[in-house]
Structure 1
Amino acid sequence: MGSEATAHQAPADGGESPWPEESQLTFLTAHASRLVASGIGLDPSYYDSLQPTQVQLQHRPGAGVSALYSLRDGSGFVGLTTERLPESDAYTQLRIPGWELAPVGYAPLTVTVWRHPDDPRLPGLATAAVPERAESALGQGDVLTRLETVAYRPLRRAVLRATFSTRPPAVVERVVYLKVMRPDQADALVERSRLLAEAGLPVPPVLAHHHDGVAAFAEVPGSSLSRLIMDDGAASLDPRDLIRLLDRLPSAVVDLPVRAAWADRADRYAEAARAALPDYSRRITELEEGVRTCLAEADRGPVVPTHGDFYEANLMMEGTRIVGLLDVDNVGPGRRADDYACLLGHVAVLPTVDERYQLIDTALEHFGAAFTRDEDPRAVWGSAAGVALSLIAGARAPGLEEDVWAPAAVGRLEAAEALLARAKR
């Protein structure tokens, strides 16, 4: 069954308004069993015994809430979203006029339910995530020996790591990363990858590209920059190597579509942060306003080729030598200060991911001194605070109680505030 009534439509007749996204988030979490059971056609008597486990949660302000659940009986995964989707027989759409938590006076909510891997926006996932299909479509005659999901954001993208082996007697293994995106976005990613490869950037080679949105990339050797940051605060790395890497981005990048910098979307990320940490709403709002004011007063520099997602996980190293530049989805025109800020903002929150990151101040000073030599420090540090702000809501870990993940979210808020303080020095 389908419905166009969603949390993002215009107010319904009679003055009804869309559900607040915080209410959507609470509703999906509280009624997961009933939504999952109804969506996959189970008898209502099975609601209470289903008890699905949330393994993924994504709140995109302005777009809705999505989640992925694992079924207790081992029969797979089920996705839910409040994002607006067209009617289709490929999935179920539940119109929610008002269960216990439905706000009074709000328009009906539509929750779309599907069985993984039949993601409504990622048709290629059904190929990449099913071993037999992945081997047939992407194995080039080799045998698939291992397939694991590295990342999955419902309706957005997925990354899988596939290990293929040649057939006996000469058995050789190779690792391929399968990136699943909406088909038009996958086309753009492959175009960017080839553009950078032709310019001599160390991007993963494109091995295959399918019309359904699956692109296959060769594995890049080495380990991420995060290892150096953990070991010595990256003091052994010359930050000018990072600057020179960005200098090599081809001029044709400025002709690609523009994508707003992370800090330029501070209002949306602050909304998500307030939903995650309502008790810290005032501080989050002050941070949001501080980022906006700081950047308005800063010299953000000219528009140049940028990576758009330039941080430690996307920089592969062999010792102190850069050997790989990953995730070029967001390559396009922007400001150099925002690329620098992306790295600084991510580095600042690393202790909330792993307590072994003890030398973060060393890394921030090390990178920051080089990055602000030719850029306005207010632009670099203010934008970095906006990046850290964008990471607060992401600390909410599926399946964990709030007292487990909330300290990490608060730690990210504190890191963002400290970055903004650097901008005001």
Structure 2
Amino acid sequence: MAQSDLDLLTGEEATELLATAVSTAGGELVDWSVRQVDHRPGRSTTVAYRARVRWGEGVEAGRVRTETLGASLGRPGDQQVPGVLTLDDGEHAVAVWRFPGDPALPALATAYDAEAVATLLGDLGVPEVARGPVTLRVRAYRPTRRAVIEASTPGARVFLKVVRPEKVDDLHARHALLAGAGLPVPKPLGRSADGLLVIAPLSGESMRHAVRDGGAVPSAAEVVTMLDRLPDSVAELPLRTSWSENAGHYASVIGAAMPAEADRARHLAETIATRIAGQRPDEPTHGDLYEAQVMLADGRITGLLDVDSAGPGRRADDLACLVAHIETLSLLRGWDNERLHALALEYAAGFAGQVEPVELSARIGGVLLSLATGPHRVQEADWPLQTSRRLDAVERWLGGVPG
């Protein structure tokens, strides 16, 4: 995808696109800002926006509301969904929608409708949540990819994971497999054919809170023990490319957004690829293990979230993922940088006794490279500086565990 396509959806030209889409729906665009960017060079670009809209009809007449809008280029299927506006200037065909009308996530409209959720949960046999008024809270949204919505009443709650319809059966099977093996993962409660999976909540608090606040966290040995509980059958699931093995892709994303760093990112990706070449992905893995996916009680692991990527891989990738995420937190403003860097080093040292240290450091670098796309994706105010800082971290870890 050309750089001009990225500019079209994130630069000043986006004003006309969004204003036209909002006007077609009966509103007036007041202002907007980019919230997320998913740029896949040579393939597609998808952007989420925070927009303020003044509505001119019905009960909303004259009221300014904050809306989430989405737009995509290079995804022809998005343009064929009812309710999605296609704007075509002869060179670009842009699909624009208003949340929850995501063209790739047809179940999102149901998941964001309290009455529809109550009916669905009743049909699925979850009556304790279906009774009484249902409150919905959006916990995560990646346009055209996935969403998580918490549905609760005064007496109970569940989580609604919305994915593309073709992925829901596979996701349900992963939850069922791991829950059936005794791992502390969310129990699947039901699903719909259009991409909605209902899962039970887990006990405990996110490890992210303990990491942030300096609370008790599990030891490296305890993390390894949890991974040892993954059944061998996980290695028989469909293979998914790991973060490290996708290093070339993430380097191209960085290079497209920040040409000044393109050569450095490409060189780092090539170094990672060389160091992990020939390693067979034949071990059961979580696939995306980091502190926000782990639930704790008094420092003990009580739950494991987001098993979407569970499958065959390398144990070193799971361990590297946790280290890389904590190292990335150490680079954020407002976080205890020295303490978090020390924690990343502590985990890396503990994990180095479980897997080959050179592989571990290479895969830490690979996950860090994937995370270096984050500042641009969420449009941090100083994203070029933050991107460069993350590339610096990749270099340090590839050069040996930093002091």
Which of the five TM-score ranges fits, normalised by the shorter chain? 0.7 to 0.9
- Displacement of 1:42 in angstroms is 3.5
Would you say the 8 A contact 1:233–1:360 is kept in 2? no
> SS in structure 1 opposite 2:203?
coil
Report the counterpart of residue 317 of structure 1 in structure 2.
296
CA 1:423–1:265 in 2, change beyond 3 Å: closer, same or farther? Answer: farther
- Displacement of 1:71 in angstroms is 3.7
> SS in structure 1 opposite 2:24?
coil
- Tell me if 1:415 matches 2:393: yes
- Displacement of 1:57 in angstroms is 2.4
- Displacement of 1:295 in angstroms is 2.0
Find the aligned partners of 2:158 and 2:384 in 1 and give their Cα distance. 35
Would you say the 8 A contact 1:162–1:175 is kept in 2? yes
Kindly provide the CA deviation profile for residues 137-172 of structure 1, in whole angstroms up to 9, marking residues without a partner as x. Answer: 23633224431111111110001122223xxxxxxx
CA 1:424–1:363 in 2, change beyond 3 Å: closer, same or farther? Answer: closer
> SS in structure 1 opposite 2:211?
helix
- Displacement of 1:397 in angstroms is 6.0
CA 1:224–1:422 in 2, change beyond 3 Å: closer, same or farther? Answer: farther
Would you say the 8 A contact 2:138–2:148 is kept in 1? yes
Find the aligned partners of 1:406 and 1:82 in 2 and give their Cα distance. 23
> SS in structure 2 opposite 1:200?
coil
- Displacement of 1:399 in angstroms is 6.3
The residue type equivalent to 1:261 in the other structure is: S
Report the counterpart of residue 261 of structure 2 in structure 1.
280
Find the aligned partners of 2:66 and 2:364 in 1 and give their Cα distance. 43
Report the counterpart of residue 7 of structure 1 in structure 2.
none
Structure 1 unaligned runs (5+)? 1-18, 98-107, 166-172
CA 1:83–1:369 in 2, change beyond 3 Å: closer, same or farther? Answer: same
CA 1:291–1:397 in 2, change beyond 3 Å: closer, same or farther? Answer: closer
Kindly provide the CA deviation profile for residues 207-234 of structure 1, in whole angstroms up to 9, marking residues without a partner as x. Answer: 2312221111222122222333334486
The residue type equivalent to 2:101 in the other structure is: D
The TM-score with structure 2 as length reference comes to: 0.87
- Displacement of 1:313 in angstroms is 0.8
CA 1:347–1:400 in 2, change beyond 3 Å: closer, same or farther? Answer: closer
Number of residue pairs aligned between Structure 1 and Structure 2: 382
Find the aligned partners of 2:212 and 2:326 in 1 and give their Cα distance. 10
The residue type equivalent to 1:340 in the other structure is: L
- Displacement of 1:82 in angstroms is 0.8
> SS in structure 2 opposite 1:113?
strand
Q: How does 1:77-96 map to 2 (within 5 A)?
A: 77-86=68-77, 88=80, 90=82, 91-96=84-89
Find the aligned partners of 2:218 and 2:134 in 1 and give their Cα distance. 37
> SS in structure 2 opposite 1:80?
strand
Report the counterpart of residue 196 of structure 1 in structure 2.
178
Report the counterpart of residue 104 of structure 2 in structure 1.
121
Q: How does 1:15-414 map to 2 (within 5 A)?
A: 19-20=1-2, 22-30=3-11, 31-39=13-21, 42=24, 50-69=30-49, 70-73=51-54, 74=65, 76-86=67-77, 88=80, 90=82, 91-97=84-90, 108-138=91-121, 140=127, 141-165=130-154, 173-232=155-214, 237-296=218-277, 300=279, 303-358=282-337, 359-396=339-376, 398=378, 401=381, 404-414=382-392
Kindly provide the CA deviation profile for residues 216-272 of structure 1, in whole angstroms up to 9, marking residues without a partner as x. Answer: 1222122222333334486x6321111111111111112110001111111110111
Find the aligned partners of 1:79 and 1:251 in 2 and give their Cα distance. 40
Greater shift in the superposed pair: 175-184 or 57-66: 57-66
The TM-score with structure 1 as length reference comes to: 0.82
Would you say the 8 A contact 2:186–2:200 is kept in 1? yes
CA 1:186–1:242 in 2, change beyond 3 Å: closer, same or farther? Answer: same
Would you say the 8 A contact 2:150–2:159 is kept in 1? yes
Find the aligned partners of 1:135 and 1:56 in 2 and give their Cα distance. 30
Would you say the 8 A contact 1:300–1:379 is kept in 2? no
- Displacement of 1:36 in angstroms is 2.1
Structure 2 unaligned runs (5+)? 55-64
Find the aligned partners of 2:356 and 2:251 in 1 and give their Cα distance. 24
> SS in structure 1 opposite 2:390?
helix
Would you say the 8 A contact 1:128–1:134 is kept in 2? yes
> SS in structure 2 opposite 1:52?
strand
Find the aligned partners of 2:332 and 2:390 in 1 and give their Cα distance. 10
